[in-house]
Structure 1
Amino acid sequence: MTHPEATHHVDGLVGGQFDSPLTARGEREAGLIAAALRDVVPPDHRVAVASSDLRRTRTTAAVVGAALGVEPTLDPRLREKSYGEAGGRPQSWLDARFVPPPAVGDRLRHREGVAGAETRLDVAVRAYAAMTDLLGQDVDELVVVTHGFTAGLLVAAWIGMPVEAAGHVAFPVPSGSITTLREDGYFHNRAVVAVGDVAHLRGPGTRPGDD
């Protein structure tokens, strides 16, 4: 799942690894996410919650963990892509300097023109490693609280897409969305059941946001 609305969204700032907290609306949406997960996780299942260690995901994970009765673990490999020196600056600052990736060629190692920014490959390597470790846990249900760009690479890792083939991969995962992945216990086939679901956010006074 992706964290809900954070302050950098409403302030027009670059997110990435800029450590922005949730807004008041984001905190309400974290409760809606937790309730939705509590409704679908059987009470007798063993559950683990893992989260990026940034504030907006850490806060969300704490709410989810409380609803599911587990203590979240924090993993910096689940952080959002770093935009280097652009993090926390106005989005217009990044837009003026950003070098978009090519349509073809080596998109994984493309440099975007901002000092300190991660490449897609940088994020993929840590996301794939995190997913491998997380799937080694002896649990029935695993909840991962992360960010939009990173979430897409975690799904790619889940389905076994080679890192070198992940140059174009992207999934529509807005803020506060839940993506459901399932592995059957007999054939061990892995399914992408739902991507970027935000139906749980459509209560009174809420609306889905952008990550």
Structure 2
Amino acid sequence: MARTLWVVTHPEATHHVDGLVGGWYDSALTPAGAEAASAIAAELRARIPPAAEVELYASDLRRTRETATPLSAAFDVPPTLDPRLREKSYGEAEGRPQHWLRSRFVPPPPSGDRLTHDEGIPGAETKAAWAHRVYAAMTDILHSSCPHQIIVTHGGTLTFVVTSWLRIPIESAAYASFPPKPGSITTLTEDDFFHNRALTTLASTTHLG
């Protein structure tokens, strides 16, 4: 069976405009972000056939729940909220000004062990912990045979959604990065003959005008 995953990154949230660290900080969509969420729902409603079966998954943080709300209404399906689809946790930095994080952040080495690198922020997740939980969420999502699955997540987490879809081992994803703009749609497809998996469109924002 052919399959399409529509991966949505939440649009503008209050931590963006306030210059605060996101992560697990539970910010809300701004009015502009809420308008973008409606545009995302309209775009996917136009692209997914009316009679198609659709499943909706979302991170459980407020900004992704609010992004999922118009999608839930457009497709008449409740979202499955999954904390494993959250953004990376930045521990004590969350909700603080970005300069607080920048002044303390220890960047990963250009080679060597990038996955378990300590970034110097108490309570922050390692890249390995972040990747493993996203891969686990994707394994559960892909157990379903539903032909259209919408995943509402965060900009950083998009990278591991894509690498898990392409079956790239976590150890090989240590350098991967697919940074999107807020409110983007990424399309992942699997054909019904070879069952090859493709990254069809990456972080498109044409629906935002």
TM-score by length of 1: 0.94
Give the conservation status (yes or no) of the 8 Å contact 1:173–1:179: no
Code of the aligned partner of 1:43:
P
Which position in structure 2 is the counterpart of 1:129?
A: 136
Please state how far the C-alpha of 1:172 moved relative to its aligned partner.
2.9
> Once the two structures are superposed, what CA deviation does each residue of 1:117-142 show, in whole Å capped at 9, x if it has no partner?
00111110000011110011131100
Matched, 1:150 2:157: yes
Alignment partner of 1:5 out of 12, 17, 21: 12
- In structure 1, how many angstroms separate the alpha carbons of the residues matched to 2:46 and 2:117? 42
Provide the secondary structure at the position in 2 that maps to 1:49: strand
Code of the aligned partner of 2:116:
R
Which position in structure 2 is the counterpart of 1:57?
A: 64
Give the conservation status (yes or no) of the 8 Å contact 2:107–2:119: yes
Which position in structure 1 is the counterpart of 2:119?
A: 112
Q: Of the two structures, which has the highest relative contact order with CA contacts closer than 8 Å and spacing of 6 or more?
A: 2
Code of the aligned partner of 2:194:
F
Matched, 1:48 2:47: no
Which position in structure 2 is the counterpart of 1:25?
A: 32
What percentage of aligned pairs have identical amino acids?
57
Please state how far the C-alpha of 1:68 moved relative to its aligned partner.
1.5
Alignment partner of 1:189 out of 175, 196, 203: 196
Please state how far the C-alpha of 1:174 moved relative to its aligned partner.
1.3
- In structure 2, how many angstroms separate the alpha carbons of the residues matched to 1:196 and 1:139? 22
Which position in structure 2 is the counterpart of 1:205?
A: none
Q: Which consecutive segments of 4 or more residues in structure 1 shift more than 2 A?
A: none
- In structure 2, how many angstroms separate the alpha carbons of the residues matched to 1:32 and 1:16? 24
Please state how far the C-alpha of 1:166 moved relative to its aligned partner.
1.0
Code of the aligned partner of 2:30:
T
Alignment partner of 1:103 out of 93, 102, 110: 110
Alignment partner of 2:178 out of 139, 146, 171: 171
Matched, 1:138 2:142: no
- In structure 2, how many angstroms separate the alpha carbons of the residues matched to 1:60 and 1:137? 22
Provide the secondary structure at the position in 2 that maps to 1:103: coil
Give the conservation status (yes or no) of the 8 Å contact 2:156–2:179: no
Matched, 1:84 2:113: no
Matched, 1:14 2:35: no
Code of the aligned partner of 1:189:
N
Please state how far the C-alpha of 1:186 moved relative to its aligned partner.
1.7
Which position in structure 1 is the counterpart of 2:74?
A: 67
- In structure 2, how many angstroms separate the alpha carbons of the residues matched to 1:43 and 1:185? 20
Which position in structure 2 is the counterpart of 1:180?
A: 187
> Once the two structures are superposed, what CA deviation does each residue of 1:158-208 show, in whole Å capped at 9, x if it has no partner?
000001111100113211000000001121110100001000011xxxxxx
Please state how far the C-alpha of 1:63 moved relative to its aligned partner.
1.2
